[in-house]
Chains A and B, each alone.
Chain A
Amino acid sequence: MNGVEELCRYSPDRGIDYYVSGLAGILRVVVGPGKTSTHAYVKEVRKALETLVFSVWDRSDEYIPVVAESNIPDTIHSNKVKECFRELLIALLRRFRETTADLPIGSRIRLMNMTVSAIAEMAKRGKLPPVGEKIINHVFSKSSQSVSQNLEGGENP
């Protein structure tokens, strides 16, 4: 398994905060830091989580990969980044499903909103946690001069 896959993939040892940090890291580079609207950062992640919670909760094993695949931001052009984003999103959804299975639906929805808000806040401003930095360094490693170059890094479709 290569380094990128390992970093982005689901692992039972990792908490949900790991995937939140990873997604926030990628979104910071993709959208760019400091945007005023939080919506710009998390519209796809929010959609994915809402689909999981409201539509496919009982058949999540089957649908999580599909939900993740259909909620990758269009602004990501690199295959490598796309793959990492998808893996992180799958992992986030799986972990969310596992850790909130015993919570009442209201608490689950509120935690979903907090998760989305956490990703937006972390992507938007401040110092990224070490995991976020590490993932950025790996997936955008080919060219790190600027955001636009980063987006074109990796294999083109």
Chain B
Amino acid sequence: MSCLRIAYELLPPPLAALPAKYWTSISLWLHSYTVARTFQEFVTIYSEARDVDTPSEDDAFLIGFLHDIGQKLRLRGKPSEEGLVEWIRDVLMVIGYTEGEADELVRYLYTNPAETLFDPLYDRSIWRLLWLADRLQGIDNPLAILQLLAEAKDDLGLELNIALLNITIPQPFMRTLLSRIVHKNLEQMTRNEGKLVIPITTPYGLAVITDEPSLTIEINWDEIRKGFNGNGMLDEKTEEDLEWNMNCCTNPECKSECSKRKKPSVCREHRFTKRDCEKGVYPGSKGNSYRIALIYYGFKKRVNAKVILPDDIRYMFQGISIKEVEYISGRYMCPLCGAKTPVGITGDFLQFFNTNITTEQWMRRLYPGSVNRLMQDVKPYSVDPLCLGEVILRSRAGYPVLISLTLRALVPLPVLEEVGKLAYYLVFQLGTSIPKRTTVSSLLYDDNGFEKTLENVANTLPSIGVPKFYYDAFTSTVVVPYRRFMQSHQDEWIRDIIVAGILAAWGLYPLTISETVPSAPSNVLLSYYKGRRPLYDYQPSDKKLGDYTPYVATTMTSLAELNHRANTGENLPALLEVLDYPPEHSPLLLQYTSPSLYSRLESLRVRIGVRP
């Protein structure tokens, strides 16, 4: 059975949403899952390096997952409260453990070797690995890992270093592409070169735990051209159009024909404009924007010419370098990122990629409006190549509204990828089924539909790949592009709140729903571009309010049921009113919006023995 499925069997939604920490908003489920997967990874690597008795992969996962659930659910030292013990024992036996084995594992609800570093079952070095996996969740500074490694050095007998890899370019989608390339390179290092490499994402870059004294990554620009799935950043039709237009620009006859007021149909088909033949900027050549696009992002129709980037960009790479690139300082200001660029294209050329630039999407520091109008007095300006890449990636993402998860706690890179897959599944499982009340409720724990949902999750997840979702290894962010603008303002509210509720119930928060990727981690359950409401505008890490998070998440989800009731003729006040109350009212609000979901949540809570 997959780790993800076991994790949700042990701590099902919406109890998965209970908070784990006071210093940052991270759910108990995600904390436990992260520690479990990290410990599992550490144990696998350590068993290759040292000859000690280690737990099996499955046992390592379970020990990591259970390590402080007992404490977090306030059961420590109270063996009379047997609900949780019974629950865990039952789940373990259902997934194939014998009674004796289950009893052995259930012990970890009461003893936490991550703190004591002692348990008769395994050597101290193994518990030191659990300690390390747990402590990584208590810091957000990548360099603080060095201190942890120094403390663990004697027990582990390993000399480990930290390599900090970071890319701080202001184009979030380009960062996700570079994250993917760096991730692949690190995987190759482990697989082909046998190096010890454990990448951990932090809000301030990618910290790699390694035995390599000076680990750096070199990327070829060709890897960027390939895009996420190796077929190129641009689709085939766009590349063909770009090539045709580029050739037309250099052919005076074709250019003159296509520049007429009444263009031949072939020019219209390829979306030719005279402006894009002339207004681009590239040192030592005429301003053929189509050619510039193919120089940088052409894959099948690539044009061989030097890749030049603004000099400002050079210093935004730490531990990572891009080969075959020349950095030159330019005099054209990019209206999107502000870099002084020697190469660029006009803002209007971006429409070629079916994108209209607005300040909401690109320049959050300015008031909403047209970028062209804002930039009319700033001349000369030109969109730099990385922003062009950003536009291409966003246009291929397909949906203008994004749902993002930003974490402050440290998470291994493979786990961040898994979380991205899960978020994508949950969002798109719902995408087509939100109006159907039953489907939404089967996404939360009950005795019937939930098992089927979990099975689907476990079966579908391995086949989900980028670019359906995006993950940024350098800011610990997962992004799922998830919907277009809808006709009704209220429909958008309802849908967004339900989706956020489902993700939160499954332990995935803090969330942002916006047209842009958030530039800094948030601690609020949901930051929503359409407005702040008291129900979700709070920090789950808050000591007083955090315990209400499962109720808040379920109340948000239950808007589906309330909407259904309103649509079937029930006389209800405005649906969104429930968002106007603070989290401490959420149990009552849930009773109002969906008595059945409230009953299910309460039954689960009583069964597991979680105190209110």
Do A and B interact with each other, yes or no? yes
Chain A residues with a Cβ under 8 A of chain B: 13-17, 20-21, 24, 99, 103, 107, 110-111, 113-115, 117-118, 121-122, 125-131
A14, closest chain B residue (CB): B612
Give the CA-CA distance A136 to B512 in the complex, in Å: 43
Q: A99-B584, A114-B588, A129-B602 are in contact. Are A15 and B612 (CB under 8 A)?
A: yes
By a CB distance below 8 angstroms, the chain B residues around A130 are 602-603, 606
- In Å, the complex CA distance between A131 and B601 comes to 12
Which residues of B, 249-305, contact A by the 8 Å Cβ criterion? none
Q: A16 vs B586: C-alpha distance in the bound complex, in angstroms?
A: 10
On chain A, the residues within 8 Å of B603 by CB distance are 127, 129-130
**Nearest CB of A to B361, in Å:** 35
**CB of B566 to closest CB in A, whole Å:** 13
- Among A14, A21, A110, A121, point to the contact of B577 (Cβ < 8 A): A110
> When A and B form their complex, what is the total count of cross-chain residue pairs whose Cβ atoms lie within 8 Å?
67
Contact of B588 among A103, A111, A125, A127 (CB under 8 A): A111
Of all chain A residues, which has the CB nearest B604?
A: A130
Q: Interface with A: B138-146, B311-319, B592-600, which one?
A: B592-600
CB contacts (< 8 Å) of A131 on chain B: these are: 602
**Residue pair B596, A127 in contact (C-beta under 8 Å):** yes
Give the complex CA separation of A117 and B587 in angstroms.
14
Inter-subunit contact B584/A121 (CB<8 Å): no
Rounded to whole angstroms, the CA-CA distance of A103 and B534 in the bound complex is 12
Apart from A15-B587, A131-B602, list 17 A-B contacts with CB within 8 A. Answer: A15-B612, A16-B585, A17-B587, A17-B590, A24-B595, A103-B581, A107-B581, A110-B573, A110-B577, A111-B585, A113-B573, A114-B577, A114-B592, A115-B588, A115-B592, A130-B602, A130-B603
Q: Is B115 an interface residue (CB 8 A)?
A: no
Shortest C-beta distance, A92 to chain B (Å), equals: 10
Asked if B580 lies at the interface with its beta carbon under 8 angstroms from chain A, I say yes
Interchain CA distance A128-B589 in the complex, whole Å: 16
**A17 x B573 contact (CB < 8 A):** no
Set of chain A residues within 8 Å of B602, measured between Cβ atoms: 21, 129-131
A15 vs B584: C-alpha distance when bound (angstroms): 9
Number of interface residues of B (CB under 8 A): 22
Q: Complex: how many Å from CA A115 to CA B592?
A: 7
In the complex, A117→B599 CA distance in Å? Answer: 16
Query: How long is the Cα–Cα vector from A104 to B590 in the complex, in angstroms?
Result: 21
Q: Which residue of A lies closest to B578 (CB)?
A: A114
Q: Does B210 lie at the interface of the complex (its beta carbon under 8 Å from any beta carbon of A)? A: no
Give, as a whole number of angstroms, the nearest-CB distance from A146 to chain B: 24
- CB <8 Å contact, A20 and B599: no
Asked if B588 and A118 sit within 8 Å, CB to CB, the answer is yes
A90–B405 Cα distance when bound, in Å, is: 43
Residue on A nearest B598 in the bound complex, by CB: A129
The CA-CA distance from A99 to B581 in the complex, in Å, is 11
**Cβ-neighbour of B595 out of A99, A111, A118 (below 8 A):** A118
Cα A129 to Cα B607 with chains together (Å): 12
Q: Can you name the residue of chain A whose Cβ is closest to the Cβ of B597?
A: A126
Query: Does A107 lie within 8 Å of B580, measured CB to CB?
Result: yes
Q: Decide yes or no whether B591 CB sits under 8 A from chain A.
A: yes
- A117: B residues at CB distance < 8 A: 592
Q: Per a CB cutoff under 8 Å, which of B581, B599, B612 touches A111?
A: B581
| Given known A-B contacts A113-B573, A127-B599, A15 and B588 have beta carbons under 8 A apart | yes
Q: How many Å lie between the Cα of A125 and that of B596 in the bound state?
A: 9
- Closest Cβ of chain B to A20, distance in Å, is 5
| Across-interface contacts of A14 in B (CB, < 8 A) | 612
Cα A113 to Cα B585 in complex, Å, equals 14
**Can you show 6 pairs from A to B with CB atoms below 8 A apart?**
A16-B585, A114-B588, A118-B591, A118-B592, A122-B595, A127-B600
Inter-chain CA distance A130–B83, complex, in Å, is 14
A117–B227 Cα distance when bound, in Å, is 54
How many Å lie between the Cα of A103 and that of B591 in the bound state?
Answer: 19
Rounded to whole angstroms, the CA-CA distance of A113 and B606 in the bound complex is: 28
When the two chains form their complex, are residues B606 and A20 in contact, meaning their CB atoms are under 8 A apart?
A: no
Interface-centre pick from B577, B588, B595 (highest chain A CB count, 10 A): B595
Known contacts A20-B591, A118-B592: does B585 contact A99 (CB below 8 Å)? yes
Q: Distance (Å) between the CB of A80 and the closest chain B CB?
A: 24
CA A129 to CA B602, docked complex, whole Å = 6
| Residues of chain A with a CB closer than 8 A to B598's CB | 17, 122, 129
Query: A13 to B590, alpha carbons, bound, how many Å?
Result: 19
Set of chain B residues within 8 Å of A20, measured between Cβ atoms: 588, 591
Contact of A16 with B580 at beta-carbon distance under 8 Å, contacts A126-B596, A129-B602 already known: no
Chain B nearest Cβ from A134, distance in angstroms = 9
B584 neighbours in A (Cβ, 8 Å): 15, 99
Min C-beta distance of B104 to chain A, whole Å = 31
Q: Look across to chain B and name the residue whose beta carbon is closest to the beta carbon of A121.
A: B595
Other-chain contact of A129, B573, B580, B581, B599 (Cβ < 8 Å): B599
Which B residues are in CB contact (< 8 Å) with A128? 599
A126 CA to B595 CA in the complex, in Å? 8
Choose one: B577, B578, B591; the contact of A17 (CB below 8 Å). Answer: B591
A127 partner residues in chain B, CB cutoff 8 A: 596, 599-600, 603
* In the complex, chain A residues whose CB is within 8 Å of the CB of B588: 15-17, 20, 111, 114-115, 118
CA separation between A79 and B600, bound complex, in Å?
Answer: 31
Q: Which residues of A contact B612 (CB under 8 A)?
A: 13-15
CB-nearest residue of chain A relative to B603?
Answer: A130
Partner of B587 from the list A16, A113, A121 (CB cut-off 8 Å) is A16
Contact A126 B599 (CB under 8 A): yes
Q: Given the complex, which residues of B lie within 8 Å of A115, measured CB to CB?
A: 588, 592
Q: Please name all residues of chain B whose beta carbon is closer than 8 Å to the beta carbon of A121 when the two chains form the complex.
A: 591-592, 595
A133 to chain B, nearest CB (A): 9
Complex Cα distance, B572 from A10, in Å, reads 30
Cα(A126)–Cα(B602), bound, Å: 14
Q: Across the interface, which residues of B come within 8 angstroms of A126, CB to CB?
A: 595-596, 599
Give 9 closest A-B pairs by Cβ, nearest first: A17-B587, A118-B591, A129-B602, A114-B592, A118-B592, A129-B599, A122-B595, A130-B606, A127-B599
Nearest B-chain residue to A134, judged by Cβ? B606
Q: Which residues of A contact B587 (CB under 8 A)?
A: 15-17
Q: How far is the CB of A107 from chain B (nearest CB, A)?
A: 6
* Chain B residue at smallest Cβ distance from A115: B588
Which residues of chain B are within 8 angstroms of A107 by Cβ–Cβ distance? 580-581
Q: Which residues in A have their C-beta under 8 angstroms from that of B590?
A: 17
| CA gap between A24 and B592 in the complex, in Å | 12
In the complex, A107→B534 CA distance in Å?
12
**Across the two chains, which residue of chain B brings its CB closest to A16?**
B588
Which residue from chain B places its CB closest to the CB of A107 in the assembled complex? B580
Taking the closest CB of chain A, its distance from the CB of B497, in whole angstroms, is 17
* Residues of chain B with a CB closer than 8 A to A111's CB: 581, 585, 588
Give the interface centre of A13, A16, A21, A121 by most chain B CB atoms within 10 Å: A121
Closest CB in chain A relative to B48 CB, distance in Å:
49
Contact of A122 among B581, B589, B591 (CB under 8 A): B591
Tell me, rounded to whole Å, the shortest Cβ–Cβ distance linking B595 to chain A: 4
Most A CB contacts (10 A, CB to CB) among B577, B591, B606, B612 go to B591
